[in-house]
Structure 1
Amino acid sequence: MIGSQYADGRAGIDAGLVRRLIAAQFPQWSGLPVTPVEKDGWDNRTYRLGDRLTARLPTHEAYVAAVDKEHRWLPRLAPVLPVSIPESLAKGSPGEGYPYPWSVRRWLDGDTARPDRIADLPAFAESVAEFILALQRADAVGGPRAGAHSFYRGAPPEHYDAETRRALFALDGRVDTARAGAVWKAALDASWTGTPVWFHGDIAHGNLLVRDGRLVAVIDFGTSGVGDPACDLVIAWTMFSGRSREAFRAAVGQDPGTWARARGWALWKALIVLAANVDAASGTAEAAVAEEQRHVIDEVLADAAL
């Protein structure tokens, strides 16, 4: 899950701890400088190890399952995908007062996919669709079925029904809860009966890397798994619009039921985040987050009405 700049030391993890872990468990890399990445995630703290490696440490027990999952499955997915994905070089053990497994990975060059870094957004949308379809074609036999490790991405959206309805109640009078409720109901009614396929679980601009405006890598497979791929379509409303959304929709395909569930996934997240920030003071970061989520909700509701 993508995040932003955090002060070093969040969740009890800092550069000093990483140096001690590296020295104790991977002395071949102990001479490399350790620096926090500029754009950090919420689920993990990530540090540069020299120019070519990173150390990635979960911030909470809830995110630990991703370490083994990614270490095992990403090498199997990489050969069939059209762009680079993280390469795990070593798996670390708890130590130095840090309680969880962690990993050392190869650094992937690229900038996060902000629209201002992409000259041709419709073409970029098509490349994201190409990645999603290639991931769906990957051999899913024995893969990790959607569940707690994926935060139920890839599972039926019913898992988040109570949370969504609480958010709708809290936002009554602030968003069009009647229309939003209808879109959510349509997502629940569009039961998925397809063959389980691989999904990423968090296709978002912060997990897409670009060079010269082109998609070159997809990162953070912590919520990935095997199941319903509808959750991977939410970028249609969180990043794309107009021609780029049309290009994405045409390239990625998918049946109407999958799109209905995708709208549900996008709506769920936007509603719960907006509910948590709706009363934020004007001019604060929280108010900006709330405005972003209002925009996503408006886009989803407008799309559902087409």
Structure 2
Amino acid sequence: MRITEQAVRELVAAQFPQWADLSVRQVRSAGTVNAIFRIGSGMAARFPLADGEIQLHKEMYAARLLFGLTRFPTPEPIAIGEPGEGFPLPWSVQTWLPGTIATDDDPGESDAFARDLAELIAGMRSAGTGGRTFDGRGRGGVIASHDEWVRTCLRKSERLLPVPLLEKLWDRMRELPRGSDPDVMTHGDLMPGNLLVAGGRLTGVLDVGGYGPADPALDLTCAWHLLEPGPRRVLRAELGCDDLEWERGRAWALEQSLGLVWYYETSNPVMSRIGRRTLSRILSPTRSGTRS
């Protein structure tokens, strides 16, 4: 699904006339779920690239839950737009967070950034689930339930990745037990493109619509998406992760990254490269016979 800047201008003018005189310009990114447009200097409009009206309202609810919960800024929901000329789906408006994403300013060697991530994860967990549990969508439930998808990814990756080594690793990881850890509140997608950084520190968190109950190991994917071995150990120590939780986090990172490499090889090379880098970090301790 596509939308032009002119179509966004017309939708904004028709539905939110108070913003009709503000500039509209598209934000180029490697994101795969929404097209993003800045409205003036302080707002961002998000147009879903696939149908999902119910999901849009859930994302707005999740963003409200997380807003102000930690010291790290997150977008504040402002409004939901209606389908109109030039775009057939509901869309949303939120505050714009300025900054540089971690894809463009790598904080992977920063211990301070690792401590910031640990503070963020602990702060998100602190809200409590209110009795809710994982809703069954995407990652965050039982690792083994993703086996069919991972097998597909491995078949698609034979010319791209060391598939025998990855398959052997997955065969072990898919059997990891959940243990007694209850669901906690998680961001669900702590990847480089969703984190703002400056000077090796975390300055903001984006794409917060997935904030909800899940396996506490899910947000540990950031350890391999973002961190080199030293800061990764800092993150683990700050959160006090035991061996099982830490290894489940590594398994979630493996499951996600296997899909990124082949699926986005030509359509979104940035995402494909992120997947490759994460897999390299995951495999490094395997090759050396240690875990980190």
Report whether the alignment pairs 1:99 with 2:88. Answer: yes
Change (3 A) 1:52 1:228: same
CA displacement 1:213-238 (0-9 Å, x = unmatched): 42121010233321213221122122
CA displacement 1:233-260 (0-9 Å, x = unmatched): 1221222112121212212332322222
Structure 1 counterpart of 2:249, one-letter code: A
Q: CA deviation at 1:176?
A: 4.5
Q: CA deviation at 1:172?
A: 5.3
Structure 1 vs Structure 2: percent identity of aligned residues? 33
Q: Tell whether the 8 Å contact from 1:197 to 1:228 is kept in structure 2 after alignment.
A: yes
Per the alignment, residue 175 of structure 2 pairs with 189
Post-superposition, which runs of at least 4 consecutive aligned residues in structure 1 deviate over 6 A?
none
Structure 2 CA distance, aligned partners of 1:12 and 1:117? 30
Q: Tell whether the 8 Å contact from 1:164 to 1:271 is kept in structure 2 after alignment.
A: yes
Per the alignment, residue 157 of structure 1 pairs with 143
Change (3 A) 1:212 1:34: same
Change (3 A) 1:249 1:22: same
* Backbone CA RMSD of aligned residues: 2.8
Per the alignment, residue 146 of structure 1 pairs with 135
Structure 2 counterpart of 1:96, one-letter code: E
Per the alignment, residue 191 of structure 2 pairs with 204
Structure 1 counterpart of 2:12, one-letter code: I
Per the alignment, residue 271 of structure 1 pairs with 258
Q: CA deviation at 1:157?
A: 2.0
* Structure 2 residue corresponding to 1:60, chosen from 16, 35, 50: 50
Report whether the alignment pairs 1:301 with 2:277. Answer: no
Structure 1 CA distance, aligned partners of 2:272 and 2:90? 34
Unpaired segments ≥5 residues, structure 1:
1-10
Change (3 A) 1:77 1:264: same
How many residues are matched? Answer: 287
Q: Tell whether the 8 Å contact from 1:145 to 1:227 is kept in structure 2 after alignment.
A: yes
Change (3 A) 1:204 1:119: closer
Q: CA deviation at 1:285?
A: 7.6
Q: Secondary structure at 1:141's aligned position in 2?
A: coil
Q: Tell whether the 8 Å contact from 1:146 to 1:153 is kept in structure 2 after alignment.
A: no
Q: Secondary structure at 1:135's aligned position in 2?
A: helix
* Structure 2 residue corresponding to 1:29, chosen from 7, 19, 41: 19
Report whether the alignment pairs 1:20 with 2:10. Answer: yes
Q: CA deviation at 1:50?
A: 0.6
Q: Tell whether the 8 Å contact from 2:9 to 2:24 is kept in structure 1 after alignment.
A: yes
* Structure 1 residue corresponding to 2:153, chosen from 152, 160, 167: 167
Q: Structure 1-normalised TM-score?
A: 0.82
Report whether the alignment pairs 1:135 with 2:124. Answer: yes
Q: Secondary structure at 2:98's aligned position in 1?
A: coil
CA displacement 1:135-171 (0-9 Å, x = unmatched): 11112116573333xxx12121223211212333454
